[in-house]
Amino acid sequence: MEISVLVTVKNDLNNTKSLISSLKKLDKDFEIVVVDAYSTDGTYEYLLSETGAMNLILSRKEGKRSVGRNECIKMSNGKKLVFLDSDTEITPNWELALRKELHRDILAGKIIQEPGEKWSSLDRVPILYKGKDVTFPSNNLMYSRTVIDKIGGFDERFNTAEDIDLNIRAIENGYEIFYDEDVVVSHHPRQSYKSLLRQSYGNGIGRRLIREKYGLKSSFNRSNLRKHPFIETSRLASGMLGYMFGGRN
pLDDT of residue 216: 85
| Distance of alpha carbon 188 from alpha carbon 86, whole angstroms | 9
pLDDT at site 34: 98
Per DSSP, the residues of 117-161 read SGGGGPPP---EETTEE----TTSEEEEHHHHHHH-S--TT-SSS
Which residue ranges in the chain fall short of pLDDT 50? 117, 119
Fold that domain 3-191 belongs to in CATH: Spore Coat Polysaccharide Biosynthesis Protein SpsA; Chain A (3.90.550)
pLDDT confidence of residue 240: 64
Predicted TM-score of the model (pTM): 0.88
Q: Give the residue extent of every domain in the chain.
A: 3-191
